[in-house]
Amino acid sequence: MRRLVLFFCFFSQSLIVLAQTWEAGVSVGASGYMGDINPVKFYKFTDPAFGALVKRNFNGYWSAKVGFTHGRIQADDSKSDNADQVNRNLSFRSDITELSLQMEFNFFNYLPGLLPGFGSKRLSPYIFTGISGFSYNPVTDYNGSEIELQPLQTEAVEYKRNAISIPYGAGVKYNIKGNWNVIGEIGYRTAFTDYLDDLSGRYPDFTVTPPVSPLSPALSDRSLTAADRRGQQRGDFRKRDTYMITAISLTYTFVPVKCPTF
């Protein structure tokens, strides 16, 4: 019986050793956007965000993380300091749902006293990058109703409501006690689309390209002053928008279960 228990413990320990560097947790924070309506304010976080993560710590310096995040982004020309933007009078909001794979590098040898071969530092700054897939759906308010913009092709361009982005950023990890960690992070995502805000290029000529809906011309040009803007600049011509997420995470690191002694 003793040998059976010892064998079971040894087998269990072998399996746990393979999994002992796993970490899981949840996060809350804020989300924001930079693009044609907010071109410069990289610090403008507008809405709450939340998420969950699973991480594999290879050693005290390197980790791989799979993360899920949901937030909202929005911007409004009417709140701009730029007179041309105020006159353009466009606005949007969009939910963002993201699944990402990231690599993290700790500047200090992190995870104290928990895992063989790991470090003794309870606190470490870190940087990260990776790849993400996300969905979005820009909407706006018009005559008291919420209108989805993507189906209207307001620039006579058909774009998809999902895309890839490149996340990058930095944060700080702190081992509270034992298995528990608190993590603060700020990250930016360069999106491989310029239509997070339904805005990119020029005002279309709907006499040449017929609108897909009667609402398309009305929501394409909502300028406060009357003018013929066909072919004129509508967006800022940069090829990609950016969304950003800042978060506080609480995580738990899994460690081996001790076997009984005889």
Which carries the bigger pLDDT value, residue 49 or residue 15?
A: 49
Query: Are 253 and 65 a contacting pair, CB within 8 Å?
Result: no
The number of angstroms, rounded, from the C-alpha of 247 to the middle of its chain's C-alpha atoms is 10
120-123 long-range CB contacts below 8 Å, 24 or more apart?
Answer: 121/60, 122/174, 122/175, 123/172, 123/173, 123/174, 123/175
In degrees rounded to 5, what are phi and psi of residue 124?
A: -155, 130
Look at residue 164 and tell me whether its pLDDT is greater than 90. Answer: yes
% of the chain exceeding 90 in pLDDT: 82
| pLDDT at residue 2, as a whole number | 52
| pLDDT at residue 145, as a whole number | 96
The verdict on pTM exceeding 0.75 is yes
In degrees rounded to 5, what are phi and psi of residue 73?
A: -125, 155
Look at residue 261 and tell me whether its pLDDT is greater than 70. Answer: no
| pLDDT at residue 256, as a whole number | 55
Look at residue 15 and tell me whether its pLDDT is greater than 50. Answer: no
Look at residue 156 and tell me whether its pLDDT is greater than 50. Answer: yes
Span 235-240, average pLDDT: 93
> What total of structural domains would you count in the chain?
1
29 three-class SS: strand
In a domain, 46, yes or no: yes
Span 204-211, average pLDDT: 95
- What are the structure tokens assigned to 3, written together? 């040998």
| pLDDT at residue 6, as a whole number | 40
- What are the structure tokens assigned to 226, written together? 């009357």
Scored b (16 or more CB within 10 A) or e, 70-106 reads bbbbbbbbeebeeeebeebebbbbbbbebebebebeb
**CB neighbour list of residue 83: distance below 8 Å, 6 or more residues apart:** none
Q: For 130-146, write each residue's pLDDT tens digit.
A: 999 999 999 999 999 99
In a domain, 175, yes or no: yes
| pLDDT at residue 21, as a whole number | 85
Query: Distance between CA atoms of 153 and 159, rounded to whole angstroms?
Result: 8
Look at residue 49 and tell me whether its pLDDT is greater than 80. Answer: yes
Of all residues in the chain, what percent are helix, strand and coil, respectively (each to 5)? Answer: 15, 45, 40
In a domain, 260, yes or no: no
Query: Are 117 and 59 a contacting pair, CB within 8 Å?
Result: yes
- What is the domain range of residue 194? 2-253
**CB neighbour list of residue 214: distance below 8 Å, 6 or more residues apart:** none
In a domain, 92, yes or no: yes
In a domain, 261, yes or no: no
CATH assignment at residue 21 = 2.40.160.20
pLDDT bracket for residue 1 (50, 70, 90):
very low
CA angle, residues 158, 84, 47, in degrees to nearest 5? 65
